[in-house]
Structure 1
Amino acid sequence: MTVTTLPVARNAEERLANIQELRQRVHRMQGTATSHPLPTLPVLDGLVRLRTGASYAVDRPGLAMALMAGPSGAGSWSAVVGVSDFGLEAAAGFGVDLDRTVLVPEPGDAWLEVAAALIDVLQVVVVRPPARVTQHQAARLSSRLRQRDALLISVGDWPHAESRLWIEESTWTGIGRGHGRVTGHRARVAALLHTGQRRDAEIWLPADDLRLRTADQVDQVVEQEPGRLSRVG
């Protein structure tokens, strides 16, 4: 049996962090059903708030990166299953810690088993199901998410998701007539909560400085520095 130990704490802040990590490990080993908020990027505050024990559905990998970036940047380990076009450079730009990210790009027919196994040990699991997810499959992972204090992000529909997010409109910057380099992606993102409530927001995924920002934040920059961003349809 291999036992992983924590480094010796140098100060009170490190000791507190170590205690919290030990508590999380105990919860995972005991399979205690818990649910608590996880860090969510400020740019997504008006759309969704992440919590453990829940599942979220998005329509493309970029939104999955934005969702996982909050927990990942705060120290959570993540996994990405079945998303062969997952862009590492883009994910890092969103704030995903690649050193704490496990990639399984081609799980094949074993995607459900792989996702379940990773939920046992990691806090955030992103998965792209190769086919329609059945109620039974969703229920199987839902129970595991609650027991292991983890959350799931599906690139594609997921039964009984806490929230569903999709991009309704997109505008790109930096592209000329058939040439140029994409420098920004402005999107109208919609979110449908499990309660039936709908929310919308204009977000840059990312802006020309490669950071995630709300449209209001970028518009303020444009007002101060006219011509910095050129909007191209």
Structure 2
Amino acid sequence: MQLTTSHAQEPVDEPEQADEILRLRTQLERVQGRKLDAPVLPVHPALASLLPGGGLRPGAAYSLPRSTSLLLALLGHPSQAGSWCAVVGMPRLGAEAAEGMGVDLSRLVLIPDPGSRWLAVTATIAEVLPVVAVRPSGRAADAEISRLAARLRDRGSVLLVQGPWPQAEAVLEVGDPVWTGVGRGHGYLEGRAVTITASSRRWPRPRRERLLLPDASGGLSVAPDAIGPVQAIRPAAPIDTARRGGPEPTRFSPQSYEPVGARAAG
């Protein structure tokens, strides 16, 4: 519909305008394959501002980094709200780590090694489960990706991909990790602060949040303002091994420590 100055001077026919808006909305929904006002699947409040609509949109795909902690944080609230979730192609994902991030294990399906047919397995699972996460083990043809996208829209399933993915609803990245709780080679790890950046075609610019992933309880929370980006670590003064005798002791940095639970979570 094209508007001119003569239209601007004419009184607006509200019923006619409402019909036109409804027609355009229906066309847009038909092209996108989903309703614009469809409810989203809930996510942790700390992640809501990083996702268009404040949650996981049915029928959409999301591109994630290879961070198991972030993936499990995204699966936690949907599983608790009653949505079944599947994880494809991640043999090292641990049930204990998933439960620690709030995932309801009674609604979690694990397919550790789908082999070269990972895309076919993912498409089959998306037919019956509302949330499917996958780590691709190879490249997929554009035609296969398009068929999977159509199936997601038809079934209203959410796809979480660890890696690049065409036409993703949002692309999430994790950076600037800082572990807290470790002093000069001693202490207990209390949490890891990271910066999560989200890019989406629905926004003019990326959004960022500083989060604890994991926090002291092993879950997810907003990071205190005092925890900033990674700071450069000054090397310790050299030790005169000839004068003291014996090899130089090993130096540790805060980044060299990693708790068993965090290793399982990724």
TM-score by length of 2: 0.65
Equivalent residue number for residue 13 of structure 2:
none
Equivalent residue number for residue 189 of structure 1:
196
Equivalent residue number for residue 115 of structure 2:
108
Aligned-partner SS, 1:189: strand
Query: Residue 210 in 1 paired to residue 218 in 2?
Result: yes
Equivalent residue number for residue 45 of structure 1:
48
Query: In angstroms, what is the RMSD of aligned CA positions?
Result: 2.3
- Give the alignment of 1:50-65 within 5 angstroms: 50-60=56-66, 61-65=68-72
Find the aligned partners of 1:218 and 1:102 in 2 and give their Cα distance: 39
Find the aligned partners of 1:204 and 1:214 in 2 and give their Cα distance: 6
- Give the alignment of 1:16-95 within 5 angstroms: 35-48=38-51, 49-60=55-66, 61-95=68-102
More moved, 78-87 vs 129-138: 129-138
Letter in 1 for 2:76: A
Percent identity between the aligned chains?
42
Aligned-partner SS, 1:172: strand
> Does the 8 Å CA contact 2:116/2:138 hold for their aligned counterparts?
no
Distance 1:91 1:217, change over 3 A: farther
How big is the shift at 1:174? Answer: 3.7
Letter in 2 for 1:157: P
Find the aligned partners of 2:74 and 2:166 in 1 and give their Cα distance: 18
Distance 1:178 1:40, change over 3 A: same
Aligned-partner SS, 1:160: coil
Distance 1:133 1:168, change over 3 A: farther
Equivalent residue number for residue 5 of structure 1:
none
> Does the 8 Å CA contact 2:170/2:199 hold for their aligned counterparts?
yes
Which structure: greater strand fraction?
Answer: 1
Equivalent residue number for residue 127 of structure 1:
134
Equivalent residue number for residue 165 of structure 2:
158
* Count of matched residue pairs: 190
| CA-to-aligned-CA distance 1:76-134 (integer Å, 9 cap, x gap) | 00000001222322221221111110000100011111111111110100000012344
> Does the 8 Å CA contact 1:33/1:148 hold for their aligned counterparts?
no
| CA-to-aligned-CA distance 1:113-156 (integer Å, 9 cap, x gap) | 11111111101000000123443232121111111111000011
List runs of 5+ in structure 1 lacking aligned partners: 1-31, 220-231
Aligned-partner SS, 1:72: helix
> Does the 8 Å CA contact 1:207/1:218 hold for their aligned counterparts?
no
> Does the 8 Å CA contact 2:59/2:152 hold for their aligned counterparts?
yes
Aligned-partner SS, 1:136: helix
How big is the shift at 1:182? Answer: 3.7
Distance 1:33 1:84, change over 3 A: same
Aligned-partner SS, 1:207: coil
Find the aligned partners of 1:65 and 1:211 in 2 and give their Cα distance: 10
> Does the 8 Å CA contact 1:57/1:156 hold for their aligned counterparts?
yes
TM-score by length of 1: 0.74
